[in-house]
Chains A and B, each alone.
Chain A
Amino acid sequence: MKKILLLGLLLAASANSQSQVTYERLLGASREPQNWLTYSGRYSGWRYSTLNQINPSSASRLTMQWTFQVGDLGQFETTPLVVDGVLYGTGQNDRAFAIDARTGRAIWRYQRNLPEKLQPCCGMVNRGLAILGERLFMATLDAHVIALDTKTGNLLWDVTSADYRKAYTFTVAPLAVKNELIVGISGGEYGVRGFIDAYDAATGRRLWRFETVPGPGQPGHETWERDSWKTGGAPAWITGTYDPDLNLVYWPTGNPSPSNYGGERGGDNLYSNCMLALDADTGKLKWYFQFTPHDLYDYDATQIPILIDAEWEGRARKLLIQANRNGFFYVLDRTDGKFLFAKAFGNVTWATGIDRDGKPVVNTSLKTSPYGTRVCPGALGLTNWYSPSYNPETGLLYVATSTECDVFTSSPQPYRAGHDFLGSVYVPDPVERPTGALKAIDALTGTEKWSFPYFSNPNGGALSTSGGVVFAGDSDGNFIVLEGKTGRDLWHVQLGAAIYSAAITFELDSKQYVVIPAGSALFAFTLPLNVTPIHAPHAPSDPSPTPRAELIFKHLQSCQGSKK
């Protein structure tokens, strides 16, 4: 009896450990293509999978497997996680859910009880969860960080990070590293003072905070005019990446506040629009690189930092690449932040180039004014927060781009806590209708290899795989599979509403799934593996009628008759 009990306990423990997502599993996420364990799929930010069932030969046979309706409205920006057959995601207005990844049936749903007066700049959105152990972690619109039980969705802990009444808010998917959750605040359109926090996954206790606008006595404080630092913005609203060997977290920051008027915040405004390298254990700044000093055009650097190891000028280097909202593609040395290379990947007028130190050569004739100035890219950037994808097999970075140029006006605006703080109005160039494209860029040279045109400027990102395909979504509701090497359209389907995220992929029952959010639903596609090609039976050289054939024929005739 004892033996049976012990065996039962062992089996239970085994099943339990299967669902435990340890830090070691996150480190080895690339070895678990059947799952999708972090926001970008792995710490390096590649949004790439080694699954290859869906490839240029098979993509045209993709078939919808299931749909899951979130039950809310607004932009659906989640990146779901998939762990051992369970898919975890978030929805608008801080919903969360777990569903059976095979069928799309809900296991539990969570709805945050949000206060009435919230001030997110750009929708009641949430971009996803992090997982560690048997807990899911979510950063909420009312500026809390919470932990949920993976099996029930029950709230395990809830900590306040900042005051939502002053427009501090979270939209980011947390990053789980070791025993901590790392999150970055939103609110750059409201004059918050940005920060990046780490919380203990077990207790919710805050472990460290890095303030992205340095206060008095801190390095970088001198880059702010008078008291402008107090409302300096520099939010950190997209999930960073992590190099475990260097123990550095790479986290990009957003625009200074007010976003389009710089007259009262003279200086470079550190650490707005920067790439920050932070010690994962302490939050101490190892290095920074600022892409757009003293920004006037809302060029948040909140695009995914992608970590690649490659030969650069004859020696192996640890690189960080980023296609930045300001229109330039950058290559940095991620050990020390040294600038290596930059190149425009579209139409850029705000700067004429990047100098040898990585600083933009600003086109001073285009400064914003009360009368309006046309600037490219527009405020939404040449690209934006939506994830790019890096494929190590093609060496290409796939990035969604927009052609929009905007006419910026600019004037002083008094700060009021909790109210927008823009100093501007911008409108799209009234002459040229903005469009978009998914571009494939050589990750080391910035050279464009191909471009797939979108009718409208995009809000959706990309996913690439070993199958040699890129999954992408456009603002007109098309989910598209392109050939990774050429950009050839292999298959597409109209999902009926704009796509505001990037796809993920996983494997279950030996089937590769690809999941994309569109409108207010998740759509899952697979290949119909059980369908075998139809072949005509091989004809013998001299077929002859047999009594059995006659019986079969008469039986078929009677079946046909009964249908009438």
Chain B
Amino acid sequence: MPANGFEDSEIWSIIAYLRSLVPPKRPIVSGDPGKGKKIFFESVGCSNCHMVNGRGGLLGPDLSRVAASRSLSYLIDSIRQPDKDLSSGMTDPNNHYGLPLVYDAVTVVTAAGERITGVARNEDTFSVQLLTSDQNLQFFLKKDVKEVIHERKSLMPPYSEDVLSARQLQDLIAYLETLRGSEDNGPKEGR
């Protein structure tokens, strides 16, 4: 981010605006973080794709400090409607240095017609580098495949109440609320 020449009054206005986006006090979550942890690592298996403190999958974002950076409503939306806020990655026009697309679901249709879906770790005019759903890296030259489809949706399925009840959601959120970047955080096994 370049330095700017804002007046002090303008800087304070921007700070006030940013503060207005954050609830004055984070609501207390009524769920049980211990049960939430079991949901995360066992019954629902969020950890198949998400890592927490070095444990879990690679496909989705690392959630080790997710509570420090995301609001409760964002967490709930990410579970119930994962397509609601997709990472923009390269869509930033000021992103001049070609940083990879992050968490953009891409399906490659091979010459043989096989459909391989994954997260694009990088892509350019001629090639695409996928972390596939089975968490392997696969690289493709576009000239060798039939089609490269940008799904514009998350690889994560929406967890509706049929799959994750309101009570379970509360527990899961309560667990995620403990994740603030330190391995000491979070309920211990069996607590």
Using a CB–CB distance below 8 Å, which chain A residues touch chain B?
75, 119, 378, 380, 404, 406, 416, 418-420, 428, 430, 433-434, 453-457, 459, 474-478, 480, 489, 492, 494, 497-498, 500
* Sample (17) of A-B pairs whose CB atoms are under 8 Å apart: A380-B93, A416-B7, A428-B91, A428-B92, A428-B93, A433-B90, A453-B125, A455-B125, A457-B93, A474-B125, A476-B98, A476-B125, A489-B143, A494-B124, A494-B126, A497-B97, A497-B98
Q: Is B43's CB within 8 Å of the partner chain A?
A: no
Q: Is B150's CB within 8 Å of the partner chain A?
A: yes
User: In the complex, A230 Cα to B17 Cα: how many Å?
Assistant: 32
Q: Give min CB distance, A299 to chain B, whole Å.
A: 15
> Which chain B residue lies CB-closest to A452?
B125
Residues in A whose Cβ lies below 8 Å from that of B90: 433, 456
Q: Give min CB distance, B114 to chain A, whole Å.
A: 22
The 5 closest A-B pairs by CB, nearest first: A476-B124, A455-B125, A419-B5, A455-B124, A433-B91
Contacts beyond the supplied A380-B93, A455-B123, A475-B96: 9 A-B pairs with Cβ under 8 Å: A416-B7, A418-B5, A428-B92, A430-B91, A433-B91, A434-B93, A476-B98, A478-B125, A498-B98
User: In the complex, A453 Cα to B126 Cα: how many Å?
Assistant: 10
Residues in A whose Cβ lies below 8 Å from that of B20: none
Interface centre among A457, A474, A475, A489 (most CB of B within 10 A): A475
- The listed residue (A430, A453, A459) touching B96 by CB distance below 8 A is A459
Residues in A whose Cβ lies below 8 Å from that of B126: 478, 492, 494
Q: Is B88's CB within 8 Å of the partner chain A?
A: yes
Q: Give min CB distance, B123 to chain A, whole Å.
A: 6
Given contacts A428-B92, A433-B91, A476-B125, A456 and B98 within 8 Å (CB-CB): yes
Classify chain B: how many residues form its interface, as a range: 10 to 19
Q: Give min CB distance, B27 to chain A, whole Å.
A: 28
Residues in B whose Cβ lies below 8 Å from that of A430: 88, 91
Residues in B whose Cβ lies below 8 Å from that of A418: 5
- The answer to whether B124 touches A478 (Cβ under 8 A) is yes
Interface centre among B91, B93, B125, B126 (most CB of A within 10 A): B125
User: In the complex, A420 Cα to B5 Cα: how many Å?
Assistant: 8
- The answer to whether B93 touches A378 (Cβ under 8 A) is yes
Given contacts A119-B5, A454-B125, A474-B124, A433 and B150 within 8 Å (CB-CB): yes
> Which chain A residue lies CB-closest to B90?
A456
Q: Give min CB distance, B18 to chain A, whole Å.
A: 15
Q: Give min CB distance, B2 to chain A, whole Å.
A: 9
* Contact residues of A: prevailing secondary structure: loop
Q: Give min CB distance, B138 to chain A, whole Å.
A: 18
- The answer to whether B92 touches A475 (Cβ under 8 A) is no
User: In the complex, A454 Cα to B4 Cα: how many Å?
Assistant: 32
Q: Give min CB distance, B163 to chain A, whole Å.
A: 28
Enumerate B85-124 residues with CB–CB distance to A below 8 Å.
88, 90-93, 96-98, 123-124
- The listed residue (A378, A419, A456, A459) touching B124 by CB distance below 8 A is A456
Residues in A whose Cβ lies below 8 Å from that of B124: 455-456, 474, 476-478, 494
User: In the complex, A480 Cα to B143 Cα: how many Å?
Assistant: 14
Residues in A whose Cβ lies below 8 Å from that of B123: 455
User: In the complex, A416 Cα to B91 Cα: how many Å?
Assistant: 31
Given contacts A419-B5, A455-B123, A455-B125, A475 and B98 within 8 Å (CB-CB): yes
- The answer to whether B91 touches A480 (Cβ under 8 A) is no
User: In the complex, A288 Cα to B97 Cα: how many Å?
Assistant: 37
Q: Give min CB distance, A381 to chain B, whole Å.
A: 11
Residues in B whose Cβ lies below 8 Å from that of A476: 98, 124-125
> Which chain B residue lies CB-closest to A477?
B98
Interface centre among A428, A453, A456, A500 (most CB of B within 10 A): A456
User: In the complex, A406 Cα to B94 Cα: how many Å?
Assistant: 13
Enumerate B3-30 residues with CB–CB distance to A below 8 Å.
4-5, 7
Q: Give min CB distance, B91 to chain A, whole Å.
A: 5
User: In the complex, A420 Cα to B6 Cα: how many Å?
Assistant: 9
Residues in B whose Cβ lies below 8 Å from that of A477: 98, 124
User: In the complex, A492 Cα to B142 Cα: how many Å?
Assistant: 13
User: In the complex, A455 Cα to B124 Cα: how many Å?
Assistant: 5
User: In the complex, A6 Cα to B98 Cα: how many Å?
Assistant: 59
User: In the complex, A434 Cα to B152 Cα: how many Å?
Assistant: 13
User: In the complex, A416 Cα to B9 Cα: how many Å?
Assistant: 14
Q: Give min CB distance, A462 to chain B, whole Å.
A: 15
Mask, B147-166, CB within 8 Å of A = 1, is 00010100000000000000
User: In the complex, A453 Cα to B93 Cα: how many Å?
Assistant: 18
- The answer to whether B97 touches A480 (Cβ under 8 A) is no
Residues in B whose Cβ lies below 8 Å from that of A498: 96-98
Residues in B whose Cβ lies below 8 Å from that of A500: 96
Residues in B whose Cβ lies below 8 Å from that of A497: 97-98
Residues in A whose Cβ lies below 8 Å from that of B98: 456, 475-477, 497-498
Q: Give min CB distance, B48 to chain A, whole Å.
A: 28
> Which chain A residue lies CB-closest to B142?
A455
User: In the complex, A21 Cα to B150 Cα: how many Å?
Assistant: 52
Residues in A whose Cβ lies below 8 Å from that of B96: 75, 459, 475, 498, 500
Interface centre among B88, B124, B143, B152 (most CB of A within 10 A): B124
Given contacts A498-B96, A498-B98, A434 and B91 within 8 Å (CB-CB): yes
Residues in A whose Cβ lies below 8 Å from that of B7: 416
Residues in A whose Cβ lies below 8 Å from that of B4: 420
User: In the complex, A459 Cα to B93 Cα: how many Å?
Assistant: 11
User: In the complex, A497 Cα to B98 Cα: how many Å?
Assistant: 7
> Which chain A residue lies CB-closest to B150?
A433
Residues in B whose Cβ lies below 8 Å from that of A420: 4-5
User: In the complex, A126 Cα to B69 Cα: how many Å?
Assistant: 39
User: In the complex, A380 Cα to B7 Cα: how many Å?
Assistant: 27
Residues in B whose Cβ lies below 8 Å from that of A404: 93
> Which chain A residue lies CB-closest to B89?
A433
User: In the complex, A416 Cα to B124 Cα: how many Å?
Assistant: 41
User: In the complex, A322 Cα to B150 Cα: how many Å?
Assistant: 34
Q: Give min CB distance, A505 to chain B, whole Å.
A: 22
Q: Give min CB distance, A453 to chain B, whole Å.
A: 7
Q: Give min CB distance, A75 to chain B, whole Å.
A: 7
> Which chain A residue lies CB-closest to B98?
A476
Q: Give min CB distance, A118 to chain B, whole Å.
A: 11
Q: Give min CB distance, A60 to chain B, whole Å.
A: 13
Q: Give min CB distance, A120 to chain B, whole Å.
A: 10
Residues in A whose Cβ lies below 8 Å from that of B91: 428, 430, 433-434
Interface centre among A119, A433, A478 (most CB of B within 10 A): A433
> Which chain A residue lies CB-closest to B7?
A416
> Which chain B residue lies CB-closest to A167?
B5
> Which chain B residue lies CB-closest to A478?
B125
